């Protein structure tokens, strides 16, 4: 029987310690909670992953934690810096070991579809909007909120296949081209999407035969959503 990946327990312990520290009362309780939190962080960044699934979980958890504690990065050194290094390493590994196929459907496709649908609904709500009509304005605002939420949800989804990665890159490229009319960002992303496909077809992404990639690996290399898209989601006033 295969032993469980130790990184999973380390992640669980670290998240529990983080939650406990947030609600600890001042005084001795806070001191003890902070000590446990620091110890859990040290254990997390020094624990090796033994499975692809564990590596993905660690990457996702560390990305979340780094964002949550960004304002207190100095206070968390050297653990914070070690976490940044592990994220960088895991991201590089992700780009070289992406699976061609996965056992389960890639979740990025419905997430992309949801973002596209929400954006279309928002555009429809803005079409012919009468800003003096409170009901129309409320509908437009609700559609804007739904679209923003769908795009935010998409940024949290991990593609599990190369096809999902390519679809995500192409989607962001289309969005960037549409909402950055005076910027070359969309063109750059389209080039990146084409390069990913071209390099993958020749095996240049990993330098190895694609057949050697395990089909159940779930590594991720997220492409950030264009900041310019935020302007398209502005609430109707």
The residue among 96, 122, 141 that closes a domain is 96
Angle separating helix axes 28-46 and 79-96, nearest 10 degrees: 30
Claim: this prediction has a pTM higher than 0.75: no
The residue among 96, 129, 148 that closes a domain is 96
What's the pLDDT at 220? Answer: 38
Could you tell me the residue range of the domain that residue 18 belongs to? 6-96
Q: How many domains does the chain have?
A: 2
Contacts with 203 (C-beta within 8 Å, 6 or more apart), sequence order: 209, 210
**3-state class (DSSP) for residue 204:** coil
Using an 8 Å Cβ cutoff, are 143 and 117 in contact?
no
Would you mind telling me the total number of residues written for the chain in this entry?
Answer: 237
What is the four-CA torsion angle of 141, 143, 146, 150, rounded to 10 degrees?
-130
- Residue where the block lists tokens 């437009």: 140
How far, in whole angstroms, is CA 224 from its chain's centroid?
Answer: 8
Termini Cα distance of the chain: 60
- Residue where the block lists tokens 């780094």: 66
Q: Are residues 144 and 216 in the same domain?
A: yes
Q: Is 78 exposed, middle or buried (0-12, 13-18, 19+ CB in 10 A)?
A: exposed
- Residue where the block lists tokens 């750059």: 188
Contacts with 134 (C-beta within 8 Å, 6 or more apart), sequence order: none
What's the pLDDT at 77? Answer: 94
Q: Is residue 125 part of a domain?
A: yes
Angle separating helix axes 79-96 and 52-68, nearest 10 degrees: 140
**3-state class (DSSP) for residue 171:** helix
Q: Are residues 71 and 113 in the same domain?
A: no
Per-position pLDDT tens, the chain of length 237: 678 899 999 999 999 999 999 999 999 999 999 999 999 999 999 999 988 788 888 988 998 999 999 999 999 999 999 999 998 888 777 655 555 555 467 888 999 999 999 999 999 999 988 999 999 999 999 999 999 999 999 988 878 777 888 888 888 888 887 776 666 666 777 777 677 666 554 444 443 333 333 334 333 333 333 333 333 334 444
Q: Are residues 28 and 58 in the same domain?
A: yes
Q: Is 67 exposed, middle or buried (0-12, 13-18, 19+ CB in 10 A)?
A: exposed
What's the pLDDT at 106? Answer: 82
Q: How many alpha carbons lie under 13 Å from residue 19 in its C-beta half-sphere?
A: 6
Q: Are residues 16 and 82 in the same domain?
A: yes
The residue among 53, 73, 96 that closes a domain is 96
What's the pLDDT at 38? Answer: 96
What's the pLDDT at 99? Answer: 56
């Amino acid at each position: 029987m295969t032993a469980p990946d130790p990184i999973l327990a380390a992640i669980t312990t670290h998240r529990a310690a983080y939650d406990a520290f947030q609600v600890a009362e001042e005084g001795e309780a806070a001191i003890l909670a902070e000590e446990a939190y620091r110890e859990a962080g040290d254990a997390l960044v020094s624990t090796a992953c033994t499975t692809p699934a564990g590596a993905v979980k660690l990457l996702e958890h560390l990305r979340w934690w780094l964002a949550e504690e960004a304002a207190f990065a100095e206070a968390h050194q050297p653990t914070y810096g070690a976490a940044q290094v592990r994220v960088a390493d895991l991201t590089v590994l992700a780009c070289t070991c992406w699976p061609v196929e996965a056992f389960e459907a890639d979740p990025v496709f419905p997430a992309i579809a949801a973002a596209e649908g929400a954006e279309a609904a928002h555009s429809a709500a803005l079409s012919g909007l009468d800003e003096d009509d409170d009901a129309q304005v409320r509908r437009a605002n609700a559609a804007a909120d739904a679209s923003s939420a769908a795009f935010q949800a998409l940024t949290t989804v991990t593609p599990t296949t190369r096809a999902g990665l390519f679809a995500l890159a192409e989607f962001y490229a289309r969005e960037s081209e549409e909402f950055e009319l005076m910027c070359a960002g969309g063109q750059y992303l389209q080039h990146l999407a084409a390069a990913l496909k071209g390099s993958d077809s020749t095996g240049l992404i990993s330098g190895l035969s694609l057949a050697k990639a395990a089909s159940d690996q779930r590594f991720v290399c997220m492409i950030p959503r264009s900041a310019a898209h935020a302007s398209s989601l502005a609430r109707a006033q």
